[in-house]
């Protein structure tokens, strides 16, 4: 039986998908190559290579899960620390409403207190603005990547037809 010949680029794409662990049916859907051809190509890859790649994928997935867990833990700690710090700052700032306390403070201490409090408030606002900007940039970048990916997949489907 004569097989339909596929070009080297498509063959490389199929093999790359096999290396990532995709199933022949998934690869066929993405590339337009028949499952039988994909299975034939898979059989040509030494089993130890496929097993090694599977083990490496599993290691990476485990490392990724650990990283996400650690990052989540650190993020939670930072959030709690920040929340406690801001609550403490609110308590300290409420002290300014106490007239007796203000009257007991020397002018230079009040000026220093005001300067530090204002500086910190401005820094927090600047950090919030920078974070909003980074989120906007990330959203724009993600949209660009997704558009490029969709275009690439659409082109792959056209090539495979």
Q: What values do phi and psi take at 145, rounded to 5? A: -60, -45
Give which of 14, 56, 17 is closest to 34, Cα–Cα: 14
CA–CA separation, 92 vs 125, rounded Å? 19
pLDDT in tens, 94-124: 888 899 999 999 999 999 998 998 998 899 8
pTM of the full predicted structure? 0.42
Per the structure block, which two tokens stand in for 11?
A: 């063959």
Q: Is the dihedral of CA 52, 56, 57, 62 positive or negative?
A: positive
pLDDT in tens, 56-74: 889 999 998 888 888 778 8
pLDDT in tens, 4-55: 788 888 888 998 898 888 899 999 999 999 999 999 999 988 888 888 888 9
Rg, C-alpha atoms of the chain? 29
């Amino acid at each position: 039986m004569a097989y339909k010949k596929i070009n080297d680029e498509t063959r490389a794409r199929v093999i790359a998908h096999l290396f990532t662990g995709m199933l022949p049916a998934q690869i066929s859907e993405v590339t337009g190559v028949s499952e039988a051809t994909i299975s034939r190509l898979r059989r040509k890859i030494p089993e130890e290579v496929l097993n090694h790649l599977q083990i490496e994928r599993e290691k990476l997935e485990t490392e990724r899960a650990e990283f996400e867990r650690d990052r989540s833990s650190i993020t939670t700690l930072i959030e709690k620390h920040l929340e406690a710090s801001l609550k403490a700052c609110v308590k300290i700032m409420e002290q300014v409403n106490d007239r007796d306390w203000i009257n007991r403070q020397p002018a230079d201490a009040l000026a220093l207190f005001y300067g530090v409090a204002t500086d910190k408030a401005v820094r927090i606002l600047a950090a919030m603005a920078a974070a909003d900007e980074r989120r906007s940039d990330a959203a724009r970048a993600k949209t660009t990547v997704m558009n490029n990916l969709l275009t690439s997949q659409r082109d792959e489907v056209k090539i495979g037809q």
